[in-house]
Chain A
Amino acid sequence: MTQTFDPTLTLYEPAAEPLWTEEESAELELRLYRLLQSQFCSQTQGDSASVRMEEAAELMESIRYTLDLYLRLHGWPRRALLTQNLPVLFRAAQELLLTQVEETRQLYQRARLMVKPFGNQSLMDTLNGIGRFFSGYNARFRAQQIPADIDYQLCHPIPDAIQGVQYIREYLSRLLIENQLVTRMNPERVRALLSRACPDYRDLLVNLYEPVAACTVGLSLLGGGETLLELLPEQGIQITHMLSLITPEEAKATLRAAAEAACGRLELNQPMASRYLADAAEALYPRLSSSETGFYGVFSIR
């Protein structure tokens, strides 16, 4: 499973299983083909007996996506597709998908209430754009698609492998994690930091979390005071020097540890939030180590 911050998915890993034989693969394809026929008949209600290849491929992808989600959430191996009654399993998978959509709608409502966009246009547009997902999503026949306008860039982009409603869940989960840290800070200090990091932060496609996360980690490396959200040039030099004395692996571990310590002090107790910040902290290392003045950009020091 691709690394995920959606709490419902992190609990599950795909079940390990031995390699498939050619006969098993052929049998599965035949079963899936029958399911495709049945789905196609439901979709067209007998109006058409043939379909463009691209549409057939989309429909098959939707079937695979729906089944895959069900298997993963139940911790079942893929061989269950051979041993179970596939049409019955598919119906159960579709019901599960609809439940996921409903849960995601609640997650979205939470995000609408909680996320503070600090005037960032792309974040506001994205929050509106995600709302269109719920009217445009076709869970029955195009479950893998993401009919939503999403421009705002997260600190950690979502892997391409995540599709459909899971993409929206993952996006909202990450956005809420980011928002948790940003709103933990004094809004005036956040605005000041954002202005230092990017004076046009309201109009440009910039992530609000990154500069806040970087300053939080930087201050944590120096012993605390994360809510100040501001570092002096001397502190940047001190951090660069500190990291230059240890190996890259040790430096990355130090950055991760600083992120975890900051989460403890800021009472961001969810493991997801801590892991998210630790990943962001580790990603700072190449920029901090690339030059002696790299810290200016990283910590938005003027």
Chain B
Amino acid sequence: MTDSFSLSLYQAQLMAAAQQLSRLNEVSERYGLTLTDAEIHTLAKAHLETLQTAGRLELGESLLPRLTYAFCDSPYINRSEYLDTLLALQELFYTLKNECNDALTDEELIEALRKVFNHRAHGSLSYLENLTVSDLYRALNGSLDDREDEEAFDDTDF
């Protein structure tokens, strides 16, 4: 595709993502989380850069609103780190999407990340960064938390 086309496509994607995100503020503000216009722009721009770094092209419904919607009710996110958390989550999402060779659908991957973040990781992004594809599968079928329980049991088994 030509450079001028890529540029206009980039602008169009940026605007579309920003519009969708500003609408999501209506939902997230119930949990005390909102993004300013500048933050929305930062997030939308970072999203496109992350896609490029991950070597992916977004052709369907944007990830950001779905990711925001899934995480905005997390007890581990507060206003001051809301933007940074979303920035980190979308990066993680595409890294793991590539690592699992697209075997997990978007919804499954978001759900797995949400489950781990809200339970086993207790809101730790560093914990999510060390997740393997197997961990994601276990999170989806609930066995990751079972394993945690077993490990906790083992620790006290002396």
Contacts and interface: CB of A to CB of B under 8 A. Distances in A.
B58 A50 contact: yes
A50 B4 CA distance: 22
B60 A29 contact: no
B105 interface: yes
Q: Chain A binding site: helix, strand, loop or mixed by DSSP? A: helix
B60 A49 contact: yes
Contacts of A29: 1-2, 5
Nearest to B66: A49
B8 interface: yes
Contacts of B8: 26, 30
Interface magnitude class on chain B: 20 to 34
Given A26-B2, A29-B1, A30-B5, A52 B56 contact: yes
Nearest to A30: B5
B61 interface: yes
B9 to A, nearest CB: 7
B58 A49 contact: yes
Nearest to A22: B4
Interface in A2-60: 22, 25-26, 29-30, 33, 36-37, 40-41, 44, 46-54, 56
A49 B67 CA distance: 12
A26 B51 contact: no
A230 B1 CA distance: 56
Interface stretch (B68-76, B94-102, B136-144): B94-102
Nearest to B62: A49
Contacts of B60: 37, 40-41, 44, 46, 48-50
Given A48-B105, A50-B97, A52-B98, A26 B5 contact: yes
A299 B97 CA distance: 60
Interface in B76-106: 94, 97-98, 102, 105-106
A49 B59 contact: yes
A48 B102 contact: yes
A188 B141 CA distance: 68
Given A48-B105, A50-B94, A50-B97, A56 B59 contact: yes
Contacts of A40: 59-60
A49 B106 contact: yes
A41 B105 CA distance: 13
A47 B105 contact: yes
A47 B8 CA distance: 27
B35 interface: no
Interface of B: 1-2, 4-5, 8-9, 51, 55-63, 94, 97-98, 102, 105-107
12 contacts: A26-B5, A26-B8, A33-B5, A40-B59, A47-B105, A48-B102, A48-B105, A50-B51, A50-B97, A50-B106, A52-B98, A52-B102
